[in-house]
Chain A
Amino acid sequence: MYVIESEDLWKTYDGRRWALSGVDLRVREGEVLALLGRNGAGKTTFIRIACSLLKPTRGSVRVLGMDVTQESSRVRERIALVPQEGRPSNLNTPWSHVYYYLIARGLPRSEARVRARRYLQSLELWDVRDVICGNLSGGMRQRVLVAMALATEADVLFLDEPTIGLDPLSKQTVWEQIRDSAAEGRTVVVTTHNMEEAETIADRVAIIDEGRIVASGTPEEVKARVGYEYRVDLRGDGIEASELSSYGLVRRIGDRYRVYLSDSTARELLDLAIARGWTASLSRTTLEDAFVLLVGEVEEHAG
């Protein structure tokens, strides 16, 4: 069963440019979907429409079988959101944010207390639960918002860049909680620029660019779509892009060249690098590579 279904979704804010251009997206129950895209690609617009906070210009989104435009009140009871660049109030503590937010969501006090404790502990905020947020680090403040949303235990969680600004350890803590939520059957849509995050936590990813979904599937499927299994990074004297292009797709990054290629040609290129005395490193194509190639492809076509 699909928990989120968007069909031919279009959105314009000013009547001239499209923030979303016919987005079709489906998310299954208990799945973590990472929505990837550059700044202004349309990720937040999609999230806000799916949360019934924004009206689509055309098309529809159904969440848990309900149309978000027609049945917004019923949808809102069953979803939770971490807004992009959101912050807790500096004058309140992590405890008061989570506890009172749960009360506002309709939970009885006893249950709100239990859940506030559980989620503050799991997001490593329990020791600072009574410190006002103004005296916490930026990462801790960010985790307060994540705790507020996760503690609702809503059926669908929309997390708009929930780990932005977090240190690696804090990120892992949040990732763990997101995976735990999915393991308990909740559906999670998370937007991010961090490809490692997407690969780590997402069952499926969707790459959005200029309001269009340019690729979607499991991270492996999306990587496979670019058609290159490996990449070789080369640095040295006398490297010619024209020579490398016979091996695969060449991209220049600063003073080095990156060549995307298949299994068979990788070995040949490495042999050449050794013969010429270049520094070479071989690695598997990452989701970030796929993202750069797919989004770049769209740009080239547009150009």
Chain B
Amino acid sequence: MRVRGALSGFLRSLYASTMLFGVLPFKQNPFWALSPALAPFAFLLFLSIYRFQQVVPFALIGGLISIVVANSISMESDAAFNRIVLRLDSMFALTKGGLIPYAIGLALGNLINAVPGVAVFAVLLWTMAGITSPQAWATMLGALTLIWAVVSLLGYLISTYARDIRDLWVYSPLMTALLGYLPPVYYPLELLPDPFLRAIAFISPTTSAARLMHSAAGLVKLGPGEFAVLWAIPAAHAVVFAALLYRRVRRPI
């Protein structure tokens, strides 16, 4: 009974946070969804104009990942804004479940901004690259969900170090580039010339997720046991970021 009550309180708090920081602001300004989708769309346009048809599926998968990364990393500025400027996090610390449902609600709110861009790229992936298998889509959805979780955790963790909201203005684009564009997201891992570089690429959780998606779309072939390892790497990222975050927020100062 107690567990049920706690769960119900947690879900209410999560719902309230998602509505306040995601759904309702999105209704006020749906254009938020546009900006993170523009750069991936430009990539796709260039490749199509130059008739690089064979790399279009990579551009579409890369686009999906970039959109989710850009929206998820904005968690850092949202959480810092609520803490430093609005000070609403102190009020939400005193709700059912405390800051955990509040933070997940913020992350879900950012995901809402990603939905239109993801939907457009998913339709293009379906029609232009012919990816129709439910199994492939399940893998892609799982990989994107993992990226959302890992990058949101990282964003929240970074936000806890910010002293001023302007501290973060530089980090969001930087992290988007480091996680959403530079790793082998728009191209296969095999194109990295050096084995050392290929290993380094896995520092970014998006490398594993992208490789899972490339494989699900039939663009690359995975080695034996690689499938499980690719799921485990971003999951490990999530565990590490969550542990670091827990240490930061469980009892401030």
Chain A residues at the B interface, C-beta cutoff of 8 Å: 13, 48, 51, 53-55, 73, 76-77, 79-89, 91-92, 96-97, 100-101, 103-106, 132, 145, 148-149
Contacts and interface: CB of A to CB of B under 8 A. Distances in A.
Interface residues on B, range: 20 to 34
Nearest to A103: B16
Given A89-B25, A104-B92, 10 more contacts: A51-B93, A51-B94, A83-B91, A86-B91, A96-B19, A97-B20, A100-B19, A103-B12, A103-B16, A104-B17
16 contacts: A51-B90, A51-B93, A54-B252, A54-B253, A80-B94, A96-B19, A100-B20, A101-B20, A103-B13, A104-B16, A105-B13, A105-B94, A105-B96, A106-B96, A148-B91, A149-B91
A73 B98 contact: yes
B25 A87 contact: no
A91 B21 CA distance: 9
A210 B211 CA distance: 58
A52 B142 CA distance: 37
B225 to A, nearest CB: 42
Contacts of A149: 91
A96 B17 CA distance: 11
Contacts of B20: 89, 92, 96-97, 100-101
Given A13-B253, A96-B19, A106-B96, A85 B87 contact: yes
Interface in B49-108: 82, 85-88, 90-96, 98, 101-102
A208 to B, nearest CB: 19
A76 B93 contact: yes
B29 interface: yes
Contacts of B90: 48, 51, 53, 81, 83, 86
Given A91-B29, A92-B25, A76 B94 contact: yes
Contacts of B82: 89
Nearest to A11: B253
B251 A55 contact: yes
B28 interface: yes
Chain B CB within 10 Å, residue with most, of A55, A87, A100: A100
Contacts of B92: 104
A88 B35 CA distance: 25
Contacts of A82: 91
B9 interface: yes
A120 to B, nearest CB: 16
Given A85-B87, A86-B86, A87-B86, A104 B12 contact: yes
A195 B94 CA distance: 29
Contacts of B128: none
B137 interface: no
Contacts of A86: 86-88, 90-91
Nearest to A79: B94
Contacts of B94: 51, 76-77, 79-81, 105
Interface in B18-32: 19-21, 24-25, 28-29
B41 interface: no
A91 B24 contact: yes
Given A86-B91, A89-B86, A104 B96 contact: yes
A83 B98 contact: no
